[in-house]
Structure 1
Amino acid sequence: MMTDKNIVLDVREVPKMSKWFLFSVQHLFAMFGSTILVPFLTDLSQAVALISSGAGTLAYLLITKGRIPAYLGSSFAFITPITSAMAISGTGGVMIGSFLAGIVYGILSLLIKTFGTKWLMKILPPVVVGPVIIVIGLGLAPTAIDMAMNVNEQYSGVHFSAAIVTLLITVIGSLMFRGFFGLIPILIGIIGGYLYSMFITAVSGVGVLNTDGVSAAWQKITESSSFSEAIGAIFVMPEFVIPFVTYNPAEIFNWSIVMIMVPVAIVTVAEHIGDQMVLSKIAGRNFLEKPGLHRSILGDGVATMIASLLGGPPNTTYGENIGVLAITRVFSVFVIGGAAVLAILFGFIGIITEVIASIPTPVMGGISILLFGIIASSGLRMLIDNQIDLGDKRNLIISSVILVIGIGGAYVDIPIKNAENLQIEGMALAALIGLVLNLVLPGKESGFGNGQMFEAPEENK
């Protein structure tokens, strides 16, 4: 249970201006690598993804009445569906599918608002939710390690050293720094890792850090012959994909796109609920009841629809930023909102985008090792806090199957006519199997432990 002295800034507290910017920048850095990775892998604009994540986050904060400190960025679950939809109808087709996926969020939100969440809680006991949360964190572990030590799928000791140095600086900062510096260990870790990458690149000759994009952008600004030309060099218009402007939805609509992208919304909703449970445990509140899961899911859906109207990938709540909240204990939605505004601004400023894009992959890998691990540890904490007895065969079976299915990479291949097969894998498949096992195996009471999973601390009830 969390007490007030554990909280540096509560959800509705406004930070001092002297600290607000750095708090927000830390969240910006935490989400940046993953947010631009999805468009990089799917041939969408990284600048648009940055802008749509910021706009989607602001919409989410508005819909949730400023009561949930969550940042939304590009969803990894949609990478394969986007690639398939792109092959059928291009970028416009992807945006249509993304918009319809957002509509599904809205429908689910309405159902939850109408019928409440008790039915949902009955099928999501701690013995299912805890292992699923562990899978969310550990399922991302290969991504973190690959970013930390591999270059083109080949091991690089020099790159791995940058990740380790970044991780060590962040860990030391989290444990040893006091005052304001103790609140921004992730940002300090990234800066330290960046400087180390600059040093090791100069010493070893291995290109850990590449600043060619930054140099080109700066040169364009400094060589401007007039003020207006300099402004034009600083502010760059991203490649937006807008319906009825860039494409005509009626001309490229295809039912195959619907079949490819819309079902994925069910997968990401399960991920969203897991993130909300993690966030509730970290912040010591029951966000599923107040402001309500229906508002949270609606906010996620609206953020995805906003992204589809701009040309960005679908959005989802970000585990990386939940990790930042867990470390800093700064839960202010104003900090999250500040990060969203910065993301929008940075998407239009070419040189800043280039600077952030130049952050070495192993540096982000080092940070991710810690942040993804924190998510997994939160799932373990849920099992402990609810006193789930793993000596009970039923609980042991459910948790074991969820962990192995989720982390082991099992998937179900669903054939889609004239398109790549749709896969349900990892966390989504593990959660589905866990739910089924919980419903069919006898002795459901043991899966709830002490029943405190959704109970907010006394001071927050």
Structure 2
Amino acid sequence: MSMFKWDVVDPAPGEAVAPHQRLPWGKTVGLGAQHVVAMFGATFVFPLVMGLDPNLAIMFSGICTIMFLLICANKVPSYLGTSASFVASVAAIRGQGGDSSDVTGAILVGGLVLALVGVLVHVAGARWIHRILPPAVTGAVVMLIGFNLAPVVAGIYWPQDQWVALLTAAFMVAAAVMLPGFWSRIAVFLALIFGFVISWLADVVLGPITSVLGGATEATEHDRVSFAGVRAADWIGLPSGDLADGVSVVHGPSFSLTFVLLVLPGVIALIAENTGHVKAVAEMTGEDLDPYMGRAIGADGLATAFASAFGGSPTTTYAENIGVMGATRVYSTAAYYVAAVVAILLGLCPKFGAVINATPGGVLGGITVVLYGMIGLVGAKIWVENRVDFGDPLNLVGLAAGLIAGIGNVTLQITDDFELGGIALGTILVIVFYHMANLRSGDDTGRVSQAPSTKE
């Protein structure tokens, strides 16, 4: 049967629609648009904070989603949005003087490494990954990646407009916990709109603000919201122009071993994300997706490498879209093809990209202070769900040094022109020290407690 031939169904409300099925095209298009809204906020916020082009990221998210579905033979319904796993690495690269081409070059290599891991998983199974990267290690790496970003919020985004940042963060938290169902899942998008409105009102009522814009060194007086770029942008066209560092929006990558080492910890996070995504989808659909685990990991790696080759952002499978499937019980891959096409069309609208680029710094400060913390706490979530036992001193000793090195940006000078630091050094210490601590015990599977799991 062709991959592009779905069984048409129109079930009663609440009944599931399988990946190989679809609703009538009218309803399928509506569901596809819903998936676009679900992925939208994070998919363009993360390129903004990485200094890459959000319009290009939106377009490649659609292209890469189609790549993913084809490689996985339409068995794993997923949307590939912008990954947060490399945000800390990108901040470290730019902090060491790297530009956008250095960023995309390092991420491209990271994508190829992830693709290789996917091939190995497909051939040999996932068991060896769990031995090298047990939950204790994976949780620690994800945690240090997230918390390493705290200085970025404190030094770049928050000071641009602290009161708008605070109000935006408060709204985002309130929206996530108080709004019903689907609306709570798009809290990032709603917070962005709220922040725009608050910033515009502040300009009208209070006038311009004096602060240091991102990338600048001195405070200047400026409006919080400026739509000059929106008015100048075309309605239809390919992403173009220059990024804030002078590199073209669409550009080729540059390669540096130092910068590549900085992004490799993000690969570990992506392995965990993709593995968890496939398991979650399998549980929701009731289908055995283990044979497609390697394909999913490899597909995400190839998608990340492909997008980075043109200056795009790294990708990952999106939990936001799992939430949409859970709420609707529609797992049809046809809806994801619709979402991908919509994203590509949005990416071909420069005026849409100009609106995104007009996001005030204070709004980004409010959103990132929550999002970065959430990334770090995902590491704790991995520990809890896998019952990692911190009553066992071997876990404490094995993970402690790497966490502090990663979060605190500790550096190790290797030669005059090469050093390891921050998340790269922290990840190496977490992996090496953890296995050293557990060497004599012969237990390298995560040292879990015997208490009942808290995971439902």
What is the TM-score of this pair, normalised by structure 1? 0.70
Residue of structure 2 in register with 1:130 after alignment: 139
SS in 2 for 1:194: helix
Residue of structure 2 in register with 1:58 after alignment: 66
Residue of structure 2 in register with 1:300 after alignment: 300
Residue of structure 2 in register with 1:184 after alignment: 186
- 1:71, 1:317 within 8 Å by CA — same for their partners in 2? yes
User: What amino acid does structure 2 have at the position aligned with 1:24?
Assistant: V
CA distance in 1, matches of 2:298, 2:454: 23
CA distance in 2, matches of 1:78, 1:339: 28
SS in 2 for 1:317: strand
CA distance in 1, matches of 2:184, 2:313: 33
Find the partner of 2:204 among 202, 205, 217. 202
CA distance in 1, matches of 2:364, 2:326: 21
How far residue 325 of structure 1 moved from its aligned partner, in angstroms, is 5.8
CA distance in 1, matches of 2:369, 2:292: 31
User: What amino acid does structure 2 have at the position aligned with 1:238?
Assistant: P
User: What amino acid does structure 2 have at the position aligned with 1:62?
Assistant: L
CA distance in 2, matches of 1:123, 1:266: 15
Cα deviations across residues 210-248 of structure 1 (Å, max 9, x unaligned)? 22112333xxxxxxxxxxxxxxx421233499xxxx9xx
Residue 216 (1) aligns with residue 232 (2): yes
CA distance in 2, matches of 1:144, 1:165: 15
Residue of structure 2 in register with 1:35 after alignment: 47
CA distance 1:94–1:149, shift in 2 (3 Å): closer
CA distance in 1, matches of 2:405, 2:431: 13
CA distance 1:9–1:450, shift in 2 (3 Å): farther
How far residue 102 of structure 1 moved from its aligned partner, in angstroms, is 4.6
Question: Any residues of structure 2 matched to 1:5-404 within 5 Å, and which?
Answer: 12=19, 17-18=29-30, 20-40=32-52, 47-64=55-72, 65=74, 67=76, 69=78, 71-73=80-82, 75-76=86-87, 77=89, 102-146=111-155, 148-151=157-160, 159-178=161-180, 180-205=182-207, 206=209, 207-217=223-233, 233-239=234-240, 257=255, 259=257, 266-276=264-274, 279=277, 290=290, 292-309=292-309, 311-313=310-312, 315-317=314-316, 322=319, 340-404=340-404
SS in 2 for 1:447: coil
Residue of structure 1 in register with 2:422 after alignment: 425
- 1:96, 1:308 within 8 Å by CA — same for their partners in 2? yes
CA distance 1:103–1:415, shift in 2 (3 Å): farther
- 1:52, 1:312 within 8 Å by CA — same for their partners in 2? no
Cα deviations across residues 124-151 of structure 1 (Å, max 9, x unaligned)? 2222222222223222333344454123
CA distance in 1, matches of 2:122, 2:139: 25
Aligned residues: 405
User: What amino acid does structure 2 have at the position aligned with 1:436?
Assistant: V
CA distance 1:180–1:360, shift in 2 (3 Å): same
Higher helix share: 1
How far residue 277 of structure 1 moved from its aligned partner, in angstroms, is 5.5
Structure 1 range deviating more: 112-121 or 67-76 = 67-76
CA distance in 1, matches of 2:183, 2:236: 32
- 1:47, 1:353 within 8 Å by CA — same for their partners in 2? yes
How far residue 338 of structure 1 moved from its aligned partner, in angstroms, is 5.5
Structure 1 residue runs of 5 or longer lacking an equivalent are 1-6, 152-158, 218-232, 247-251
CA distance 1:432–1:50, shift in 2 (3 Å): same
CA distance 1:454–1:277, shift in 2 (3 Å): farther
CA distance in 1, matches of 2:162, 2:45: 17
Cα deviations across residues 304-347 of structure 1 (Å, max 9, x unaligned)? 342255x21462427xx547867996696777665544442222
How far residue 366 of structure 1 moved from its aligned partner, in angstroms, is 1.8
Residue of structure 2 in register with 1:228 after alignment: none
CA distance 1:336–1:32, shift in 2 (3 Å): farther
Residue of structure 2 in register with 1:154 after alignment: none
CA distance in 2, matches of 1:297, 1:161: 41
Residue of structure 2 in register with 1:437 after alignment: 433
- 2:45, 2:54 within 8 Å by CA — same for their partners in 1? no
How far residue 369 of structure 1 moved from its aligned partner, in angstroms, is 2.6
- Percent of paired sites with the same residue: 24
User: What amino acid does structure 1 have at the position aligned with 2:174?
Assistant: I
SS in 2 for 1:237: coil
- 1:48, 1:240 within 8 Å by CA — same for their partners in 2? no
CA distance 1:85–1:259, shift in 2 (3 Å): farther
CA distance in 1, matches of 2:413, 2:144: 20
Cα deviations across residues 346-393 of structure 1 (Å, max 9, x unaligned)? 222121111111122322332223333333333223323333332221
- 2:107, 2:314 within 8 Å by CA — same for their partners in 1? no
RMSD between aligned residues: 4.6
CA distance in 1, matches of 2:64, 2:232: 30
User: What amino acid does structure 1 have at the position aligned with 2:190?
Assistant: I
User: What amino acid does structure 1 have at the position aligned with 2:137?
Assistant: V
